[in-house]
Amino acid sequence: MRLTTPAIILSLRQHGEHGAVVRMMTPGAGLQAAYVRGARGRRMRPVLIAGNLVEVRLSARSEEQLAHAEIELTHSRAPLLAEPLPAAAIEWVSALTATALPEGQPYPRLHDALDGLLAAIEAAPAASGWGAALVLYELMLLAELGFGLDLEQCAMSGAAGDLVAVSPRSGRAVSRAEAAPFAGKLLPLPRFLVEGGAAGLPDIIDGLALTGHFLMRDVVTDRAAPIGEARARLVERMERAAG
């Protein structure tokens, strides 16, 4: 197998004395894992940072063998590591993507959405400028993996208007009238997920609570401990920013 492709760095795990196994998202080949020689050296450490854009050359003798990779940096997001909230967002979305997706299956829509989300995190001065995109990326990932939520109409009445909540069991929307008897038992459905448009931090936090419930239940499952810590850091910093 030989492949040359742009990629987004997602994660790095030490392997051997000097190398590491790096996971990255590619536009046409999906999630790819490869061994990078000298990954912990002075030259490669700044390259293999989650969120960085790279050009990668992959080679392996067979489909079963772990590929070897030669990687060149095309765009660095290392400066964002000094910003607590953007750093937490990049850490989380990179860990989620690396953990949730099967290797070698193409997800071009997810790649493009992740690329756009990372660019928004880099460009926007505040989380209100990219938080909605993060929630929408998580919803897309759920849908691509077969766990999509039904936010189009009320699960009970079939009505398409005044949707305010989501059932934590079925993932289906519930209208205001039907949600009233179940106060406190449903997940809030922020307006931007129904109507589009801008979102303030409180709505973004509600959106993260919604997607987080289904991600942890249906996608991350037994891998929740380490990735859950990254999620908790993001939500804590988002709530702190919201005041």
Domain with CATH 2.40.50.140 in the chain: 1-76
Torsion sign over Cα 168, 170, 171, 175: negative
Cα-based distances in Å from 96 to 47, 137, 175: 20, 11, 30
pLDDT in tens, 10-69: 999 988 778 999 999 999 999 999 999 999 888 999 999 999 999 999 999 877 789 999
User: How many helices (H) and strands (E) in the chain?
Assistant: 7, 8
Instruction: Give the predicted TM-score (pTM) of the model.
Output: 0.95
Classify domain 1-76 by CATH number.
2.40.50.140
pLDDT, one tens digit per residue, over 160-215 is: 989 999 999 999 999 999 999 998 899 999 999 999 888 999 999 999 999 999 99
Helices 108-123 and 131-144: angle between axes, nearest 10 degrees: 170
CA dist., res. 42 & res. 239, Å (int): 36
